[in-house]
Structure formats: structure tokens, C-alpha cells
Structure 1
Amino acid sequence: MSKQRVNDQSEKHLPLSLMATEAVTDTTVANHDETEPTEFERNKERYQDLISTLPHVKGWRSKAPLIGYGGHWWLQFFLEGTLYAQEFFQARPIDILVCSYPKTGTTWLKSLAFVIANRSSFDDDSTNPLLSRNAHELIPFIEIEFPLFPHIDVIKDKGNTLFSTHMPHDCLPDSVVNSGCKMVYIWRDPKDTFISLWNFNQKLRLIRGPLNSLEECFDMFCQGLSANGPYLDHVLGYWKAHQENPDKIFFLKYECLSADPLPYVKRLAEFMGFGFTAEEEKSGVVEKVVNLCSFETMKNLEVNKGDKEREDHPSPYSNSTYFRNGKTGDWENYLTPEMAARMDGIMEEKFKGTGLLENCE
């Protein structure tokens, strides 16, 4: 979050006192004076000071308002982490970011990206870390770890080249755009996205008040009032960036990947710079990657069952929470025809003339 970055994102809401504040370092001093705040605490306080000046509206929970920043809506912990990533994340040309809106196929795409990039590092499938660790451990979010787990600073891990984010494209750290690193983006039918998001929020372990009714949350979602939303703006932002720079942004639709994964996995690998050789294709490696990362395989792994958590730190969600259904069209079990028609109409109007509705890359 350079001073210029903050001005670009929230000029109307930025207090003069923050604009004049000198940037602090992102180093954590191991043996600091306990009477003095840590760098983490100082950074967090600065972000909270800014957030307190921004618009707050009713969210999906009584104790979790949505906060307006940069043309989007945020939960506080997401926004704190986003501000931190904007300020300190330094992307490199060798990095690859898995980008998505929540509940659009993130876990699946992370699994595929990890296995594709690391398939030569393991003797066989049985030694792959994906079998014993959740995909979100293996490809960390650049914005989520900071507010929830201050003892872990994933953005300073120079040994890692795979990261992920739920940030809208126009809120990404400047270094992501300027470094020339690659991004892979996945989106999904907004009706299924909403249903998956609503069910996911019911399993949140943090106490932030009860979740609003499905009907009330749906109405807010249609109005663009959701964390990291509006959802359709999130999709459109990455789609436009992909059209402008297709060599740097790979764009996937969940329904297309689900219907016929093999060709998309091959194209994904090629884009990432880890294309399958003719010998690998002949010996069935592509099929093995698809099967290893399939919803059924992932859901039935011991690490993703019951209340098991990720190994590196506690999480607001158990690993099993990321594997609810995985099928397309589940919205039909929740939404009335009128609700579905409303969402379809909003999407068609938003995407009209963009080529997005006809796309199945």
C-alpha cells in the first residue's frame, strides 16, 4: 500500500493524517521490547485507522459489516490483508498467482496448479503433499494470512513462486501488474457461486453473528453487496485484463473445466510454463493429474475429512468445508425460478457486448 496506491484506491476517504504518515517496514523484530508495539501491530493499527473512515454498510452477518474501498466491498480482515499486500507484496516475473472470487473453484484450481508445477518433484502420486495437506496451505493467499495469522508472513517467502488471491484485479498490488508475473483466473455461474458462498459462510467458526437468510443474502448479492464484490465486476475486471494481456492472464470457466477437464488442464500447464511432454501425454500423466485433483479424490482424503485443519496454523474453517458439492447447477436446489431469472438478467446486462458469455476458454 504505497502512498500513491492508497490515493488511487480510496482518495475520497483517505484521512490527511494517514497520507502524511511515513511508511513502516515489514520486518518483525524477534526480540522487541514488549512495551513497544510490534511492526505487525503498527501496520494493523494504520490500516484500522484508515478503515474506520470508510463507508460501512450492513453485511451478511450482524457483526460483519461490509466496508467500501476502491469500488468494492470488503470484510475487515480481508481489507486489512489487502492493504498489507498492496504495501509489501513484491511479485517477481517467475511468480504465478491463482486469482478468483471466493467459492468459484479456487481449491480445485490451486490443486491443479500445484500438481502441474511440482509433478517432477515426487516419485509418484503417493508422495505428493496434496495428499496430506490442504491446497490452501500449499498455495497461500497473499492477503488472508496477515490479519488472521500474524506469525506467518507468506509474502516474504522467496522460495515460493505460487500464490493466490481473492482481490479484484484493480486492487492487486502494483508489483503484480508491473512485474509481468502470470495469473490464472477462474469464474463460475453466479447462481452457483452464491449458493456455494452462502453454504460456506454457515460453517464459519468465528463468532460474527448469525448469517442472514438465503433470500436476504441473495438480494444483497444481486445488488453487488458481498465480500470482494460486486462479483460480476470482479469477473469482468479479470476478463478485460485477460483480453488486453492474454499471455499473462489465463481465464477459465468452472463449468467448462468441469465438463471436459483434460484439454483445459493441458492448456493451463502450457500457460504456466510446465507443459506436458509428448511422452507424458502418451503415458497418461495428464489423466493422472486430473484424477488426483478431482473433487471426489480431494474430498475423500483423510486430511480433508471431518474437523481436520491445516497443519501450519488454526483456520476459521475445517478442511472439509472446502468440499461441499462440487457440481454445477446446484443452485436449482435453493433458488426459485424468479430468483434465477433475476440473477441471469443482471449477468446478461453486465456482460453484454464483452464476449464473456460466449467464452469457454
Structure 2
Amino acid sequence: MESSSVPVYYGDEYLTQETRDLLSSLPSEKGWLVSQMYQFEGSWQTQALLQGIVNCQKHFEANESDVILSTLPKSGTTWLKALLFALINRHKFPVSGNHPLLVTNPHSLVPFLEGDYYVSPDVNFSELPSPRLIQTHIPYHLLPVSVKRSSCKIVYCCRSPKDTFVSLWHFGRKLAPEETAGYPIETAVEAFCQGKFIGGPFWDLVLEYWYESRKNPDKVLFITYEELKKQTEVEIKRIAEFIGCGFAAEEEVSEIVKLCSFESLSSLEVNRQGKLPIIGIESNAFFRKGEIGGWRDTLSESLAEVIDKTTEEKLGGSGLKFSC
């Protein structure tokens, strides 16, 4: 077992012998978040999250009314968890009242599918109120069969590759300073462009959801972090219509947006102090800047060009473009 200071999803506390046997057969690379990451069916994962993916593939049964929030790591997941939780539960928890988001970190309110299944294959989501809201970083092709076959809705959000990389970079330096200390940012950019980072490769996995949303728009809603930031109320109404809980009053939208704003969430004591239960990650690690184009503070022009060139090569002809 690794040091107790290592977040659960980067450790090996709950690994089974079956997972250890699987890991021994997979390609592996040193990452800038963990000592070792593993390539499993086209995606790079930590040993813990790989176990979680395999377990939920075997055991998770989707309900027809489920709402699955899917993202790549560091693509606005915390914000979206808050927005969708407030949206789906707005009749149970009026925004004007003593809302759970004021006293509970969004990650504790919305289950993390493969994370929960890493800890135990016997996860029981049956007690969640309907519609169940569940979050995942799992690539589309690795989602449990029941998710694809059911009528449940998938809301997928992606962020521009340069901002995604920079957010990952700073997240890694905060969570795993010993791992990242000897890992130059130039090497990290090269690895990112090769798809070798936790949750990667960026472009291949984003395109999976992009193409699925175009083929089956009633099943998958594709949104970008940039559009969500620029026109939050418009995008929230689009999400609400997609999952079947449209707004009756305009003020409801603005109230939810205000409650879940970066400024509001990041200022709350519950998101500034302490660690999240079970996973052991500091609450404030999920709130850095949340800006569009924030990569300019970290990436040199030459490194930005490397990512831009890869983006052009990978997304060419897809119809998907990023504005920054």
C-alpha cells in the first residue's frame, strides 16, 4: 500500500488480486500524477480507477431516468456537479433555502461512478432519489452496457485542450508534489499530446462523445466549458430541456447560476477547508481559477503551439472546434 497521503484514486488500498493480474498484462507509463498509469482498451487510467471501471462494467445497472454527467478530468466537473444537482433537485431543495451546496462539497453530493466501484464492487445506488445523478470520467466505449442500452441521458462537457492541460498540470502539482517535482512541463505537454495522461487521450475520447451526440442527440448532449461560461443561463436551460425538467420561471435559472457560480462555491468554507471523505483530496484543490484562456499564465507560446498543432491534426474534419 502506498503512503496514506496519496489520494485514494492514486493508491492501491482496495486493489484485488484480479486487478493486479490484469495490470501486469497492460502497457504502463510513468505519469505526472502517479508513479504508474496503465493503458486499458485505448484509455490511460490509474490502477484504482481501472478497477472501478471494470467493476462498474460488470455490476452497474442504469435506470431509464438516470442522468450521467461525463467529463474528462479538469473540464469543469465540480461546477457541473453543482449546477446539475441544483437543477434536478430544485423542487426538493429551493435555491432560496438552506441549500445542501452551501454546506456540502459538490463531489460529496454526486456519486463518482468508477470511484465508488473501485472501493467496492457492491455499490448500491438504489437509494438515490430519481432521477439519479451520477458522474463519470469513463470514455464512451467503456461505459457499462446498461448505460448505452437504456434511455438514460448523458450530459458530456469538454474544455479546450490547452486549458484542460494547464488545469491538470496545476492539479497534479498540488496533489502530488513529489511526483511532479522532477517532471518538466515540456515533458508533460509532450505526454499530453501523445494521449498519455490520466483519462487520456484527450482528442480521441472527446470525439467519441462528439460523434455519439450527433448520431443520437436524444441520448447524448455535448456541451463545452467555454459556452457554459459565456452563456451559463442559456446552456443550463438547454440541459434542463434535454433531461426533461425545463424551467417554468426565468428567475429559477438565474438563482441556480448565482448559487453555483465559481465565486460563490469557492468562497464557501466547505470548499476551502479540509479533505473530502473517503477520497482524501483537499476540498480547495477543485477550485483554482476556472477561467477561459487561463493557459496563458502557464504555457509559453511554443508549448501552446504544440498543443494547437495536435488539436488541428486530431480534430480535422470532425466539425468540432475550440475557441481558445
2:123 match? 153
Whether contact under 8 Å (1:204, 1:316) holds in the other structure is: no
Q: Alignment partner for residue 246 of structure 1, among 194, 200, 217? A: 217
The one of 263, 274, 292 equivalent to 2:245 is: 274
The equivalent of 1:50 in structure 2 is 22
Q: How does 1:198-213 map onto structure 2 within 5 Å?
A: 198-204=169-175, 210=181, 212-213=183-184
Deviation (angstroms), 1:69: 1.0
Aligned to 2:303: 339
Report the CA distance shift for 1:136/1:233 in structure 2 as closer, same or farther (over 3 A). same
Partner of 2:269: 302
SS for the counterpart of 2:113 is: coil
- Answer yes or no: is the 8 Å Cα contact 1:64–1:75 preserved in 2: no
Where 2:64 maps in the other structure, the secondary structure is coil
Structure of higher CA gyration radius? 1
1:107-256 maps to which residues of 2 (within 5 A)? 107-147=78-118, 149-150=119-120, 153=123, 155=125, 157=127, 159=129, 161-204=132-175, 210=181, 212-256=183-227
* TM-aligned CA deviation for residue 158 of structure 1: 5.2
> Which residue identity does 1:87 align to in structure 2?
K
Distance in 2 between residues matched to 1:65 and 1:314, nearest whole Å: 22
**d(CA) in 2 for partners of 1:249 and 1:258?**
20
Q: Aligned residues, how many?
A: 310
Aligned to 1:95: 66
Q: Work out the CA distance in 2 between the residues paired with 1:154 and 1:345.
A: 44
**AA at the equivalent of 1:72:** S
SS in 2 for 1:233: helix
State the 1:212 CA deviation: 1.9
Specify the code of the residue in structure 2 equivalent to 1:285. Answer: E
SS at match of 1:143: helix
* TM-score computed with the length of structure 1 as normaliser: 0.81
**8 Å contact kept, 2:86–2:93:** no
Counterpart-to-counterpart distance in 1, 2:269 and 2:96? 15
Post-superposition CA distance 1:214-263 (Å, at most 9, x none): 22111100111111110111110110111111011111111111111111
Give per-residue Cα distances to partners, 1:19-44, cap 9 Å, x unaligned: xxxxxxxxxxxxxxxxxxxxx97x82
Structure 1: distance between partners of 2:316 and 2:109: 37
Q: Percent identity among equivalent residues?
A: 38
1:65 aligns with 2:33: no
- C-alpha displacement at 1:68, in angstroms? 1.3
Match of 1:285 among 241, 252, 255: 252
CA contact (8 A) 1:142 1:155 kept: no
Distance 1:232 1:211 in 2: 26
Corresponding letter in the other structure for 1:331? W
Equivalent position of 2:10 in the other structure: none
Stretches of structure 1 lacking an aligned partner (at least 5 in a row):
1-39
Residue in 2 that maps onto 1:8: none
Shift of the 137–234 alpha-carbon distance from structure 1 to 2, 3 Å rule, reads same
Match in the other structure for 1:321? 285
Q: Distance in 2 between matches of 1:348 and 1:209?
A: 28
Report the Cα distance in structure 2 between the residues aligned to 1:152 and 1:159, rounded to whole angstroms. 19
Higher RCO structure, 1 or 2 (CA under 8 Å, sep 6+): 2
Instruction: Name the SS of the counterpart of 2:16 in structure 1.
Output: helix
Q: What is the alpha-carbon distance in structure 2 between the residues aligned to residue 176 and residue 268 of structure 1?
A: 18
Identify the residue that residue 4 of structure 2 maps to in structure 1: none
When the two chains are superposed, the root-mean-square deviation of aligned CA atoms in Å is: 2.2
Cα distance change of structure 1 residues 137 and 92 upon mapping to structure 2, 3 Å threshold: same
| 8 A Cα contact 2:233 2:253, kept in partner | yes
In structure 2, give the amino acid aligned to 1:169: Y
Give the C-alpha shift of residue 159 in structure 1.
4.0
Mapped partners of 2:56, 2:127: distance in 1: 13
Letter of the structure 2 residue corresponding to residue 197 of structure 1: L
Cα offsets for 1:313-354 (capped at 9, x unmatched) = 333311111100011111111111111111111111211111
Counterpart CA distance in 2 for 1:206 and 1:140 is 27
What CA distance in whole angstroms lies between the structure 1 residues aligned with 2:322 and 2:165?
21
What is the distance in 2 between the residues matched to 1:91 and 1:231?
A: 26
TM-score (structure 2 length as normaliser): 0.89
Letter matched to residue 18 of structure 2: R
Read off the aligned partner of 2:104 and give its amino acid letter. R
Choose from 63, 66, 85 the match for 2:56. 85
CA distances 1:57-79 after superposition (whole Å, capped 9, x unpaired):
22225x52121111111111111
* Aligned residues of 2:56 and 2:121 also touching (Cα < 8 A): no
